[in-house]
Amino acid sequence: MVSLQHYLDDRLAHGRSYFVGDDARTALGVSQRNFAAAATRLINKGRLANPRHGFFLILRPEDRIAGAPDPARWIDPLMEHQRLAYRVSLLRAAAFHGSSHQAAMVFQVIAPKQLRDLEIGRHRLQFLYQAPLAFSHINLATRLDQMKSDEGFAKVAGVELTLLDCARYFHDAGGISGVAQIAKDIGGQANARSLADAAEDYENSAVRRLGYLLDLANHARQAKALEKFVKKAKTLVPLNPAVKPLAGSLAEILDRNTRWKLVINEPVEIDS
């Protein structure tokens, strides 16, 4: 009978550092109980990790210090195992597209289902929820790129979706100034028409926020493509809605940007 360790060695020999438990159990011809016991022993020895029920990572010696391989190597089969579409976005996507200011200490994934975050070794995966209808409209193959690894590809937001996602989930993208930096770094790569098309399925305030930040970064063509969304806005909204409003006369000192119908209630800092 082939042992679980031999099964893992065969997977690695074929360039795969992950497997589904049911597939391994069937290949080995063992009971669920025996498989679970064998897997637990290897987890305790630091040879396996189990980020989600039924899904396992095989740890090479070079992976054991970090506790797991780079998530780019296994996010695609993990999400396939969970039968969920997804895209890598925000900070990791911004770094992928050339935003050198982004250290991308967290691997951020957008999905149409609420999922708990993962911490596995030194890696932290954050899952952000997007309503299924909006996700299905937005997450088109033509708007995604591929993040290549030595084990295949991960789906990553294209430049346009990266910008819009960062503006939408700005608290998770380094705050307003963090998104401003991303807009400066990669905004010029965005196709203006594609950006405006994708923006149709985002909250109007997030689109205006992005337009304002693209303006600040002097990406005039991309900013202009988002101007039409201002016409749909009835009132001014804060650039950062989480900032506590100033009381009384103090509120009058805040800058009001009429082009984007935003109250500039937070200073924006961008590195040169």
Question: Model confidence over 69-96: pLDDT tens digits?
Answer: 899 999 999 999 999 999 999 999 999 9
Q: What is the pLDDT of residue 221?
A: 98
Q: What is the pLDDT of residue 163?
A: 98
Q: Which of 228, 188, 181 is nearest to 207 (CA)?
A: 228
Q: Which of 150, 145, 141 is nearest to 162 (CA)?
A: 145
Q: What is the pLDDT of residue 247?
A: 47
Q: What is the pLDDT of residue 246?
A: 53
Which residues neighbour 150 within 8 Å (Cβ) at sequence distance 6 or greater? 15, 73
User: CA-to-CA distance for 71 and 74, rounded, in angstroms?
Assistant: 5
Looking at beta carbons, which pairs linking 252-258 to residues 24 or more positions away fall under 8 Å? Answer: 257/212
How far, rounded to the nearest angstrom, does the alpha carbon of residue 81 sit from its chain's CA centroid?
18
Q: Tell me the pTM.
A: 0.91
Q: What is the pLDDT of residue 172?
A: 95
pLDDT tens-digit readout, 219-265: 999 999 999 999 999 899 999 998 876 544 444 556 889 999 999 98
Q: What is the pLDDT of residue 44?
A: 92
Domains of the chain, each with CATH number or no CATH: 4-69 (1.10.10), 73-264 (no CATH)
Buried b (16+ CB within 10 A) or exposed e, 20-31: ebeebbeebebe
168, 192, 206 from 200: Cα distances, Å? 13, 13, 11
The rounded average pLDDT for each run of 10 residues, N- to C-terminus, in the chain (272 residues) is 85 92 94 94 93 94 86 96 97 93 82 96 95 96 93 94 98 94 96 97 97 97 97 92 63 76 91 76
